[in-house]
Structure formats: C-alpha cells, structure tokens
Amino acid sequence: NAGVTQTPKFRVLKTGQSMTLLCAQDMNHEYMYWYRQDPGMGLRLIHYSVGEGTTAKGEVPDGYNVSRLKKQNFLLGLESAAPSQTSVYFCASRTGNTGELFFGEGSRLTVL
Amino acid sequence: DQQVKQNSPSLSVQEGRISILNCDYTNSMFDYFLWYKKYPAEGPTFLISISSIKDKNEDGRFTVFLNKSAKHLSLHIVPSQPGDSAVYFCAASRVHTGNQFYFGTGTSLTVIP
C-alpha cells in the first residue's frame, strides 16, 4: 500500500503563478486534509473534506482552493501564488470520526 | 489563537533516560489527543493517542498522560533511544462534533548517545 501520496514533492513558483498539489490515498478514507507547516507555527489546517464532493475551510484558507471530485483524491490549488505561501504542505487522511491522521511525505513549495 | 501549545521548542536527553514532552490546550471541549513524530523530510507519523475518558495510555516505551483539569498532556518515552530523535507534535480534536485536528508547534527531541 502506498498510503498517502503527494505530487509534486518540490516546486518553485514565481509570484502570481498558479499551481495544483495533488493528494491521493488508497486506504478508502472518507476524510482528507491539507495542512501547511511553517517554522515556529506547527501544522495549520488549510482546508479539509469529509467525503467525496465536499470541502470546508480550516484555520488558514485564504489564497487556496480545493476540490474532492473523487474519494481518493484531494487537490489543493493556489490561484495566484504569493511569497507568504512558501511552506511545506502536508496532505492527510483518516477514516470516520475516530482514528488518527495518516500523512503524506510533504510538498515543499517556494514562491519567489 | 493557538489552541494547542508546546512551550518547549527543544529537549535534549541522554540515551536510556526518560524523555518528557509537554502539551497544553485551551479548549475544554477537546476529547481526543494524539502525539505524532516527525523526521526531517518526512510526513508526521502517528505515535499514540488518548481519549478524554482515560488519564493514561501506554504503548511499549511510550506513555501519554492526560490531566483534564489542568488541560495538560504529556508524553513519556522510557528508555529514550537515539532513534527517538525527531520533532514531536501533539494534536487535539473533538471526536463527535468536530473534524479538525489542532496541532501544537512541536518539540524537537535530541537523544544523546
């Protein structure tokens, strides 16, 4: 089992460019999440989904959009990248209301 | 406002001794707590969890203690091993009414051989 897979692993963007991060999970989990990790800030929730076709805002949703068209995939989009979005992004999934989060390996994004 | 806090950014412990990592939370509605371990360039991995109906949960060398009145939890690692050197995050959630997990800022543990 691959678990949670994120692509790409690294990306460099110029300010104003757009991009999409893809998260795929093969565990048939209902819930999927996008977090960002910044120095001294821990993991902060951007958006999450409780099932196919649903999305909801987390703690820091501004500047990001998400889509969950298929149960196994959760896409994170940056419409117009800003240097403040330079971060490491983690996708996670879990099953049901209980249970821990399973994380991907992370995607490092640099916005110049 | 940070709902889950880890006030010690780093901790160094000798191999074989006990490591104690602390975490405080502000929301009394949290009822499910977890600890994650993270190595550089990898995603966090689940370590141990505890429900608010318990005050202690053990798994091998790892024990989590929960003090609900103080809104405090701690992770004890005994004995500490060099391979335990990593960043540890605590997280909190409301199991039945919430879908969000709130994470602390992490504590970097170094176990000295």
pLDDT at residue number B8: 95
* B72: closest CA of chain A, how far (Å): 18
The per-residue pLDDT for B48 is 96
How far, CA to CA in Å, does B41 sit from each of A64, A77, A78, A89, B109? 23, 22, 22, 11, 16
Structure confidence at residue B52 (pLDDT): 92
The span from the CA of B3 to the CA of A58, in Å, is 14
CA atoms within a 13 Å half-sphere pointing along the CA-CB vector of A43:
30
The mean per-residue pLDDT over the stretch B3-32 comes to 95
Contacts of A98 in chain B (CB under 8 A): 32, 95
- Indicate if the pLDDT at residue A1 is higher than 90: no
Angle made by CA atoms A11, B45, A91, in degrees to the nearest 5? 40
Average pLDDT over residues A99-111: 93
The residue among B96, B105, B107, B108 with the most chain A CBs within 10 A of its CB, best to mutate, is: B105
Mean pLDDT, residues A66-91? 96
Write out chain A residues lying below 8 Å of B42, CB-based: 105-106
Q: Which residues of B touch A102 (CB under 8 A)?
A: 46
Contacts of A37 (CB under 8 A, 6+ apart): A43, A44, A87, A88, A89, A90, A106
Say whether pLDDT at B100 is over 90. no
Number of Cβ pairs < 8 A linking chain A and chain B: 58
- Quick one: what percent of chain B has pLDDT higher than 70? 97
Q: Are A62 and A45 in contact (CB under 8 A)?
A: no
pLDDT of B99 reads 76
Does B97 contact A at CB distance below 8 Å?
Answer: no
How much is the pLDDT for A40? 83
Is A100 close to B100, i.e. CB distance below 8 A? no
Q: How far apart are CA A97 and CA A95, in angstroms?
A: 7
pLDDT in tens, A24-68: 999 999 999 999 999 888 899 999 999 999 999 999 999 999 999
Measured between beta carbons, the chain A residues lying within 8 angstroms of B41 are 105-106
Q: Band the pLDDT of B97: cuts 50, 70, 90.
A: low
